[in-house]
Amino acid sequence: MDKEIKKILKKIESNGYEAYIVGGYVRDFILHIPTTDVDICTNALPKDILRIFDIKKENPLYGSIKITTKKFNYDITTYRKEENYKNRKPETITYVNNLIDDIKRLNCFHTGQGLSVGASRRKTNALCMNSDGTIIDLLDGTSDLKNKIIRVIGDTKQKLTEDPLRILRAIRFSIILDFDLDKEIKDFIANNKSIIKTLSYTRKKEELEKILVSKKAEDGLKYLKNNHFCDDLEIKYDKIVPIKDLLGMWAQIDFSDKYPFTKANLKTIGDIRTIINQRVINNETLFNYELYTVLVSAEIMGVTKKEVYKINNSLKIHSKNELKIRQEDVIKILNIEPSCRVKVIYNDVLLKVINNILPNNYKKIRDYILKNWSDWHE
């Protein structure tokens, strides 16, 4: 356990309260997977946590206090029971003083590491860790760990119905951790997967992106496709080249325009698709698109970074502002009236400079225009 995490737990304990690490951190600790998200549950009330850590905040959401440091993102939540779910959120929250009651609430998925996935952003775990680093197995999570199986803690139908996002989470954990879903989960999903449509596009996007950035992205998408989830998620793809860049992954997927992307991200995705469809990366590609966008496209196309940088370094200009001639100069050189002819000549010069056919030198460009365009008529 990291010293900083231990210090956080000890600080809560020194004020007379219990504190346990739960959720993904315990799972990843067992699997030796680095993680920066730390979920802590305690019998301290939100107001107590605010006081202990001297946080100036009112009305913490669902009894959860978030603390961010340079190393970790902490989510400290009071033991509680949650009831009467509506739109994935509990209408009734009751604070309790019992760790087991807290663990049994929500949809708890045993993921072999004892991981359980809660309806809120916090993840509750059947495996806990105290400040001394001792693992506490309250609901036999170690057997699921050994058997590499994901199962629901509680009533499967109830837990998955009250929050359909848990279906996607169960699938994600199964894919990423290479665990099996138990029969109850499989049967429920087979007969009810259409309830995923009720999820917001923001939530669906978040879960999909966790799959896309994982090492099992290709397997994950194949699973969704082979098990007919793509229609419900409103995504479609033919072939995926797994890369680390998230926008590069999205560029290889057709998705509903209801998915929330910024205009800048949509432009980047569109540019990547355009470059891929052109099937070539050359001087014009590097001139017309951002280097980052070209590098992402190149990775998908199987073109090396070295090749991209070689082309980029060969460019004499990287923007029109660097060209040693303007459209006004074309008019003066040929002594002609402004017209569409001027733009045609200018673009011809620009392309030749981009492709290193013509030096970016005013005199050379002028001589080229006089030689090749003096007798051209519209």
Query: Does the pLDDT value for residue 25 go beyond 50?
Result: yes
Helix axes 340-354, 327-334, angle to 10 degrees: 110
Query: Does the pLDDT value for residue 124 go beyond 50?
Result: no
* Lowest pLDDT segment from 136-140, 166-170, 242-246: 136-140
The pair of structure tokens assigned to 213 is: 């950035």
Query: Does the pLDDT value for residue 119 go beyond 60?
Result: no
Query: Does the pLDDT value for residue 59 go beyond 90?
Result: no
Q: Which pLDDT score, from 0 to 100, does residue 83 have? A: 59
2: phi then psi, degrees, rounded to nearest 5: -65, 145
Mean pLDDT of the chain: 87
Buried b (16+ CB within 10 A) or exposed e, 313-322: eebbeeeeee
* Lowest pLDDT segment from 53-62, 94-103, 187-196: 94-103
- Determine contact, residues 214/176, Cβ cutoff 8 Å: yes
Q: Which pLDDT score, from 0 to 100, does residue 84 have? A: 58
Outline where the chain has alpha helix (H): 3-13, 24-31, 46-52, 99-104, 141-147, 156-162, 165-177, 183-192, 201-212, 217-226, 230-233, 246-250, 263-278, 283-288, 291-301, 305-314, 327-334, 340-354, 362-373
* pLDDT tens sequence across 293-333: 999 999 999 999 999 999 999 999 999 999 999 999 999 99
Q: Which pLDDT score, from 0 to 100, does residue 224 have? A: 93
* pLDDT tens sequence across 60-108: 666 689 999 999 999 999 987 665 555 555 555 667 766 655 555 543 4
Q: pLDDT band at 247, cuts 50/70/90?
A: very high
Q: How many CB atoms lie within 10 A of CB 3?
A: 8
Residue 94 DSSP class = E
Say whether 84 sits in a helix, a strand or coil. strand
The separation between the first and the last C-alpha atoms of the chain, rounded to the nearest angstrom, is: 76
Query: Does the pLDDT value for residue 210 go beyond 80?
Result: yes
Q: Which pLDDT score, from 0 to 100, does residue 104 have? A: 55
Which domains, from first to last, does the chain contain? 3-155 (3.30.460.10), 264-314 (no CATH), 320-373 (1.10.246.80)
In the beta sheet, which residues pair with residue 181?
150
Query: Does the pLDDT value for residue 194 go beyond 50?
Result: yes
* pLDDT tens sequence across 128-150: 899 999 988 777 777 787 788 88
Q: How many CB atoms lie within 10 A of CB 94?
A: 12
* pLDDT tens sequence across 259-293: 999 999 999 999 999 999 999 999 999 999 999 99
- Tell me the whole-structure pTM to 2 decimals: 0.75
Average pLDDT of 31-51?
90
Average pLDDT of 350-371?
96
Q: Which pLDDT score, from 0 to 100, does residue 32 have? A: 81
Entry field: residues in the chain: 378
Query: Does the pLDDT value for residue 116 go beyond 50?
Result: no
Q: pLDDT band at 1, cuts 50/70/90?
A: confident
Average pLDDT of 215-244?
93
33: phi then psi, degrees, rounded to nearest 5: -105, 125
- Cα pseudo-dihedral 54, 55, 57, 58, rounded to 10: -40
The pairing of beta strand 89-95 with beta strand 80-86 = antiparallel
The pair of structure tokens assigned to 203 is: 């939530």
Average pLDDT of 110-139?
59
Of residues 351 and 374, the one with the higher pLDDT is 351
Q: Which pLDDT score, from 0 to 100, does residue 145 have? A: 73
Q: How remote is the C-alpha of 211 from its chain's centroid?
A: 8
- Determine contact, residues 163/124, Cβ cutoff 8 Å: no
